[in-house]
Amino acid sequence: MAEINKPDYTYLWSSGGSIVAPSNVKVQTGWTAEVPPFQWENWSQNRQDQAIAHILQHGISAWDAVTEYQAGKSYVQGSDGLVYKARTTHTNVNPVTDTSFVSWTKAMSGGLLNVQKFISTATYTPTPGTTSVVVEVFGAGGGGGSGQATGGGGVTVSGAGGGGGYAVSRLTSGFSGVLVQVGAGGTGGTIGASNAGTGGSTSFGGLLTATGGTGGDFGVAQPTNVTSITFSGVAGTGSGGNLMNSAGSKGVFAIQLNTQIIGGAGGHTGRNLKSGGDGLQLGISQPATAGNPGNAGLVLVWEYA
């Protein structure tokens, strides 16, 4: 069959004429042997034109309470403008109010149902209607080093914590009930200690893991005529991701150039999130100071219908 051209629906049949609806009984019976009143015939043709024009305008028909929708086959447009696909065969279940996604699921609207954020250890339970997820795991940052007290003629700089690793996967099965573990940020260096703490690993079950960054070095007081570098922590790494595995960025070295002091800057993890604790820069006559802690890890689960 050759392609059928779309007809002109600028004018609908009898949209400016006389229309009278027959009774419901007559609609069910149809014409028998009578000559129908022209108003009834106008109603019949106008209703058909209205239905066709509705589909042409919306692309997908709007939901109604009387149609029996078929599981896995029927699509409707909800009152919120989104498109829904039937999960079950049913009648009179409004897709907009079916928030548990028992009868409907969102479709052709990007499909994103929800985003769950985990900042502590928990078990992941999918939002009803979820068929696939994208999981991001972020390792915790290392802590920043502490600094010695400075005398009347000295300064101190300490190293920063390394950023945590990062991994991403798209999963279509096996994600329900997975244990999510979120790494704690590395402790800042305590006064008198040599190094700060390492950040904890973050994981999504045994599927994805992002290790934490290590801590920055302790800052030793130096005379102001000294040039020195204090080392910062190295970054954690990501593993198990089927979309991405990456290391964070290591902490930036702390530098003393005579009287100019720059404490180390904490490293970053995925999405350029700050992760490692910053190092210290203590000027003349400052007391011993504890280091800055690293930031805790994070898990994001993007849920799709």
Q: If you average pLDDT over each of 80-84, 202-206, 257-261, which comes out highest?
A: 202-206
Are residues 244 and 289 part of one domain? yes
**Do 127 and 208 share a domain, yes or no?**
yes
Average pLDDT over residues 43-57: 79
* 3-state per-residue secondary structure call for 44-77: HHHHHHHHHHHHHHHCCCECCCCCCECCCCCEEE
Kindly state whether residue 9 falls inside one of the protein's structural domains: no
Show the domain range for 157. 111-305
Of the two residues 182 and 304, the one the predictor is more confident about is 182
Q: Measured between alpha carbons, how far is residue 109 from residues 26, 80, 101 in Å?
A: 41, 11, 15
- pLDDT tens per residue across span 2-24: 867 767 778 877 888 898 888 88
What's the pTM? 0.69
Q: How confident is residue 113, by pLDDT bands cut at 50, 70 and 90?
A: confident
The answer on 165 and 49 residing in a single domain is no
More confident residue, 178 or 85: 178
109's tokens: 């609207």
Do 157 and 93 fall into the same domain?
no
Mean pLDDT value of segment 189-210? 93
More confident residue, 11 or 206: 206
Across residues 243-261, what is the average pLDDT?
A: 87
Mark which of 55, 89, 107 sits at the end of a domain. 107
Choose among 247, 245, 228: nearest CA to 237: 247
Q: Are residues 216 and 234 in the same domain?
A: yes
CA dihedral 204→175→93→107, nearest 10 degrees, is 90
Give yes or no for residue 187 having a pLDDT over 90: yes
Residues 132 and 169 in one domain: yes
Instruction: Indicate if the pLDDT at residue 48 is higher than 80.
Output: yes
Give the CA-trace dihedral at 129, 133, 138, 139, to 10 degrees.
100
257 and 137 assigned to the same domain: yes
Predicted local confidence at residue 233, as pLDDT:
92
| Residue where a domain stops, chosen among 83, 107, 131 | 107
* Whole-number pLDDT of residue 108: 55
Closest C-alpha to 168, from 272, 270, 297: 270
Q: Among all chains, which residue has been given the structure tokens 């009868």?
A: 103
pLDDT at 216 over 90: yes
Same-domain check for residues 184 and 295: yes
Q: pLDDT at position 210, please?
A: 98
Q: What percent of the chain has pLDDT over 70?
A: 98
Pair 92, 69: CB distance under 8 Å: no
15 located within any domain: no
User: What pLDDT does 276 receive?
Assistant: 95
- In the listed set 82, 107, 132, which residue is the last one of a domain according to the structure? 107
Per-residue pLDDT reduced to its tens digit, 129-164 = 788 899 999 999 999 999 999 987 788 999 999 999
Helix runs in the chain, H state only: 24-29, 38-58
Residue 109 has pLDDT above 60, yes or no: no
Specify the higher pLDDT residue, 106 or 74. Answer: 74
Domain co-membership, 53 together with 99: yes
* Mean pLDDT calculated for residue range 214-218: 94
273-288 confidence digits (pLDDT tens): 999 999 999 888 899 9
Same domain flag for 147 and 160: yes
Is a pLDDT exceeding 90 seen at residue 166?
Answer: yes
pLDDT of residue 49: 76
* Residues 98, 128 within the same domain: no
- Identify the CATH number of the domain in which residue 89 sits: 2.10.10.20
| pLDDT computed for residue 289 by the predictor | 93
One domain, residues 176 and 287 = yes
pLDDT of residue 151: 80
For residue 263, what pLDDT is reported?
79
What's the structural domain count of the chain? 2
